[in-house]
Amino acid sequence: MSETLPEGVERREIDGRKRLATRGEAVYGEPTDGEWRAWDPDRSKLGAMIELGMDVGLSGGDRVLYLGAASGTTVSHVADFAGPTYAVEFAARPARDLLSVADSRPRLFPLLKDARKPETYAHVVEAGLDAVVQDVATRGQARVARLNRRFLADDGRLLLSVKARSEDVTRGPEAVFEEVLEELEEEYEVLERSRLDDYHDDHLGVVASPR
């Protein structure tokens, strides 16, 4: 069976092996082959979800809201093939790096904002987006996803990485995941879930659609 990758993502021979790759300027020291840059799943939860065969449903030209953009490792890959990509990051230091990443990516719009307060960027981010990608290391990860539901089209997708240790370090990851999913399902239908432990300990990848 042939592999299904998001439009704009290819598996290329880079550094001696077939690797996920997007077209764009290198950001974090990843190996390249001409205009193609390797997408390292060890440094990207979304990359890990794709590497594990999850159907993330992204396509070239999609309008994306990325929550928890940090210094731009993953969102730079998304902006390589997506349409307008709004990158929300709360911490000032990584946001400065994110601004540098955006210099070569005209479709990437960095926002120094708090993903827990979508009302502070609702005047900038359009409604009816194709995808919300969320990777925030905070308590209340399901609540963040629910608050940002307002930006998603009815047929859009939430691509969520749940970090168990950010929710509760005293409980087992699976118990934490179930609690997060239960709250998430108040506003989303979970289409697919997969542990990301091959690349990221105690993380769960989730693909969901708005109810």
Cite the annotated binding site for S-adenosyl-L-methionine by residue number: 73-74, 89-90, 114-115, 135-138
Q: What share of the chain is helix, strand, coil (3-state, %, to 5)?
A: 30, 30, 40
Question: How far apart, in whole angstroms, are the C-alpha atoms of residue 190 and residue 92?
Answer: 33
C-alpha–C-alpha distance, residues 185 and 206, integer Å: 11
Tokens 């009816």 appear where?
128
Helix (H) or strand (E) holding 141: helix 141-147
Report the binding-site residues: 73-74, 89-90, 114-115, 135-138
H/E stretch holding 180 reads: helix 173-184
| Residue indicated by tokens 């990777």 | 135
Query: How far is Cα 72 from Cα 91, in angstroms, rounded to an integer?
Result: 12
- Reading phi first (left if > 0) and then psi (alpha if -120 to 50, else beta), residue 68 is in left
- State the Cα–Cα distance between residues 67 and 85, nearest whole angstrom: 10
